[in-house]
Structure 1
Amino acid sequence: MKKRPNFLFLITDQQRADWLGCYGHPVLKTPNIDSIAARGTRFDNFHTASPVCMPNRASLLTGRYPSVHGLRYNGCVLPENASTFVDVLADAGYHTAAIGKSHLQPFTGIAPMGKDLKDIAATPEAWKDTRLAQYEEEPEHYQGEDRYDIKTPYYGYQHVDMVTSHGDRCGGHYQQWFRENAKDWEALTDPANELPHNYSCPQAYRTPIPEELYPTGYIRDRAIDYVQARADQDEPFFAFVSFPDPHHPFNPPGKYWDMYSPDDFEVSLPFQAHKNPTPPMRWLHDQWKNGGDQATPQTAMMLGEQQIKEAMALSAGMMAFIDDAIGDILNSLEESGQLDNTVICYNSDHGDYLGDFNMMLKGALPFRSITRVPFIWSDPDGPSETSSDALCSTVDLAATILDRAGLKPFNGNQGQSFLPATQGAEGPRSEALVEYNDGGNRLGFDLPARVRSLVTPEWRYTIYRDQAWGELYDLTNDPNETENLWDSPNHQSVRAQLSERLVHHLIAQMDESPQADRLA
């Protein structure tokens, strides 16, 4: 009887689809990630359920949209009692591991935008005890010298190496390891000891932390340890290996800082390329030209060409480190004799504007730069060097992985398996829903933005709650989304059809769990 396949799921943070060599990037070299695509299928039309970290990661694990699983925006919590596809794998005999960033609950003591922690604690909720239904994971748990033991299973994971936050100041188990292995750790994390550089890009920081002590290196080494430890085990494994980069701050360590030059890049889609910018785009432009500040370090902003090119060069450096790390993990998988029985996936939780229309980071404007992400599926039993234009969503990953393992999803899963598309067939979707909910009011919105998009192979239709304007883009003739056809007289029938289809998707956002067990 053939052994069930292992799964190695590699995921980055805030990487747009076209920032890989195998996706056609003209400058960035990613030979190791490209090798995964060479052994499998590259998906060219894969979209997030939400272009924000926490909601989309929860959708990945649950196969449910943010409005249903409850982690609606960053700062919320995926309840401890939420079922995940990792639970299903573990119950079926898989050994499950999370190595790196998980981000299914907050790991800071900072209050949400415009709110006070005391007021939040004193406000009753619609459901009783909801704030108690979460894992007790707080930053202070990692302040001791002894390794903090996370309560497992943690969202289905039996083994957890936790890395929180971004850049060179990550927390969790990495922080404990860093303090133990870097005797001068306080000096290395002192901003006064930043290495000299001439970059003016916001959040460009030349860290003194060497490559071997940087979070990417830690995650690489823990993943290799795990893969090697599983080599002589009978039970198959599912390993979720999650890198916090290339998310800002822009701080690639060591040789990766100047591996790429800003002169290597160009801003090919400036603000002027958009024919009729939406109100938030105009608001961001005004803020940029008038010296306005970001609401938070994670809030979308506009920058000048040189600063964007600097951010691109540093992002490329971070990606180069990730690619090298993945190469080492793949070598370990092969050397341990497990490559030929392991399905390898490569993905990102969301993208980055990264210069499109002079914008940076992410936000309420669901351009393809932040909703379209890389996804590669390499299967020992599947085709090699193929690509698929099947429209897929993050919510489909749970159903697809379980399908490959010969298992069924739990009741309430909203995704559709696209396993046939990994074998060259068509995918199950003709449309994908993308949700965005903000935790605070920014980008000129009077209230926190509530945004819903419907993506088809031909169109992107977006509506903003309580706004008289919306977005409609012809992806066939305008793939860069430079002309909003919302008010075009010639496209009113298309707008009406997509509006109706979006309504059907929104009607479907009802939790089917728990199912009825009686007639009445």
Structure 2
Amino acid sequence: MARPNVIVFFTDQQRHDTTGAHGNPMGLTPNFDRLARSGTHFYNSFACQPLCGPARAALQTGRFATQTGVFRNEIPLPEDQETLAKVFSRSGYATAYIGKWHLAGQDPVPQRLRGGYQEWLAANHLEFISDAYDAVLFDEEGHKRKLPGYRVDALTDAAIRYCDAHRDDPFFLFVSFLEPHHQNHTDDYPPPEGYRETLTATQWTPPDLATLKGTSTWHLGGYYGMVKRLDEAFGRLIDALKSLDMLDNTIVLFTSDHACHFKTRNAEYKRSCHESAVRVPTMAIGPGFQAGGQVRALFSTVDIAPTLIDAAGLDIPDSMVGCSALPVVRDARAPWRDDLFFQISETETGRALRTHRWKYGVTADYDSDQPRADIYRESYLYDLNADPYEMVNLIGMPAFREIADDLKSRLLAWINDIEEGQTPTILDAPCRDQRQYRLHPSDLQRDFERDSTLGVKPGA
């Protein structure tokens, strides 16, 4: 069989619970939901850094923010980093990038800062140089190109044209949308005409937004409209692949860089390690992923590059610390990590750890231009079984001290492993009234038996 084509359909700032596969009742994502059922749905998928530039660098390299050096926005991806495009190019694949880049710090993006992609129709700051009905990008020569239609449709059309032109060659195509990210100069979520009104009238509001509100009361209808159009575009791309007789030999991964908490956790839309900012919708179809079912393993941004490279039958570079998820796609009993590591270094400097049940986060007393801190304080602990939308912070309650201590030690192990031997101090949260909370002894057991060491490749 010919080498598979690989396409990444990449949205920006999309919450996991916008999809029917994660319980949204509005029917916004029938294509995502259908293909997640027939392919592989990564049910527990998370951004390792909830911010555009760092998350994108992690996806392209399979490395964490402190390892790439891209720990906040506007830091270019270093030219010497191993990337998805470089791996596929060396293996004889044509490579192309369409849409938002946000890893160069300038527009147009010079060739040396394109991460190794050969063909190019993109912009570093798509939100600054274009609008919903004014899709403007730069071509390989740095010339502005205006594409017709709503911006989601314009990028999708360009992706379909690329697939059509490369029917006889294996290719790796990365299609990066701005939607459902806000349009910066208006601080709005502009959907296609007519969508906002229809979806506002039938709107379902997630519990965290219903309680904490933020800007969701006036933004959610437009946001949902953008999600709906993205799913329609996703369906069009799949239809095009089918009509070109390419679908059976093409891996298509749908994911997002981070999610959106609508200013409920800080004064921004992300930059927080809460589920509303880090949990994203992710699914894959094609060779290696057909009938994979719902995978409950904890999947991180850093796992995407090694997973796609492995699925294409290529060698995963040693520089990538993420893991290929193919073993757990094939067999849910395969060894895998039992916790995830998060970094954040803009708006706040913090670290967090998530298991299947618990979320534990620490922050520094200051924000700085440095990627890490020497001292952190415990900030939050959530029981995700009882409180999936993280409304009740348990940190500092005596009943949960043993849980917090265990999670602290595991977080410190991640920091030491990923951040070049760093071992910061984490100060305990002040003791506070635990009210009605009590733990059964069984609650103190870990979610799974933990590997004795994290190693270079966490969870390998």
Q: What range is the shorter-chain TM-score in?
A: 0.7 to 0.9
Aligned positions of 1:4-83 closer than 5 A:
4-83=3-82
Tell me if 1:160 matches 2:160: no
Show the counterpart of 1:251: 190
- In structure 2, the residue matched to 1:425 is 332
Q: Residue 345 of structure 1 aligns with which residue?
A: 253
Give the 3-state SS of the residue equivalent to 2:276 in structure 1. helix
Q: 1:383 to 1:483 in 2, by over 3 A?
A: same
Partner of 2:434: none
What's the offset of the Cα at 1:19?
Answer: 0.7
Distance 2:43 2:111 in 1: 38
Structure 1 389/429 Cα, relative in aligned 2: closer, same or farther at 3 Å?
A: same
Unmatched segments (≥5 aa) in structure 1: 108-137, 142-149, 182-211, 274-301, 439-447, 513-520
Q: 1:70 to 1:487 in 2, by over 3 A?
A: same
Give the letter for the 2:35 counterpart: I
Is the 2:136–2:145 Cα contact (8 Å) retained in structure 1?
no
The within-5 A match list for 1:228-267 is 228-231=164-167, 233=168, 235-249=169-183, 250-262=189-201, 264-266=203-205
1:488 aligns with: 397
Aligned structure 1 segments of 4 or more residues deviating by more than 6 angstroms: none
The higher radius of gyration belongs to 1
**Partner residue in 2 for 1:405:** 312
Seen in structure 2, the aligned counterparts of structure 1 residues 254 and 156 have a Cα distance that, compared at 3 Å, is: same
Distance 1:333 1:244 in 2: 23
Question: What percentage of aligned pairs have identical amino acids?
Answer: 31
* Secondary structure class of the residue paired with 1:505: helix
Aligned to 1:395: 302
Equivalence map 1:106-505=2 (5 Å): 106-107=105-106, 138-139=107-108, 151=111, 154-163=114-123, 164-166=125-127, 167-168=131-132, 171-173=136-138, 176-178=144-146, 212-231=148-167, 233=168, 235-249=169-183, 250-262=189-201, 264-266=203-205, 268-269=207-208, 303=214, 308-354=216-262, 362-384=269-291, 386-426=293-333, 428-438=336-346, 449-466=348-365, 468-505=377-414
Partner-residue secondary structure (3-state), 1:313: helix
Q: Please list the CA deviations of residues 276-332 of structure 1 after superposition, one character each: whole Å capped at 9, or x if unmatched.
A: xxxxxxxxxxxxxxxxxxxxxxxxxx63xxx52331111111112212212221111
RMSD of aligned Cα (Å): 2.5
Instruction: Provide the residue aligned with 1:133 in structure 2.
Output: none
- CA–CA distance in 1 between the matches of 2:135 and 2:73? 17
Structure 2: 5+ residue stretches without partners: 184-188, 366-375, 422-460
Structure 2: distance between partners of 1:511 and 1:10: 33
Paired residue secondary structure (1:177): strand
Moved more, 392-401 or 155-164: 155-164
Shift of 1:263: 5.1
Q: Quick one: distance in 2 between partners of 1:82 and 1:16?
A: 29
- Contact (CA 8 Å) 2:58, 2:301: kept in 1 or not? yes
Mapped contact 1:271–1:356 kept (Cα < 8 A): no
One-letter code of the match for 1:41?
Answer: T
CA drift of 1:371 comes to 0.7
- Between the two proteins, the alignment pairs up a number of residues equal to 397
- Describe the superposition over 1:89-108 as per-residue Cα deviations: whole angstroms up to 9, x where unpaired: 1101111111111211223x
The Cα of 1:381 is off from its aligned counterpart by: 4.4
Distance change in 2, residues 1:458/1:266 (3 Å): closer
Q: Distance in 1 between matches of 2:340 and 2:377?
A: 23
- Give the corresponding residue for 2:369: none
- Check conservation: 1:36, 1:344, Cα contact below 8 A: no
Q: Which amino acid in structure 1 is aligned with residue 14 of structure 2?
A: Q
CA contact (8 A) 1:351 1:370 kept: yes
What letter matches 1:23 in structure 2? H
Distance in 2 between residues matched to 1:318 and 1:396, nearest whole Å: 27
Q: 1:128: which partner in 2?
A: none
Aligned partners of 1:36 and 1:272: how far apart in 2? 32
Q: What is the TM-score with the length of structure 2 in the denominator?
A: 0.80
How far apart are residue 334 of structure 1 and its match? 0.8
Change (3 A) 1:385 1:361: farther
Q: Is the 8 A contact 2:104 2:114 kept in 1?
A: no
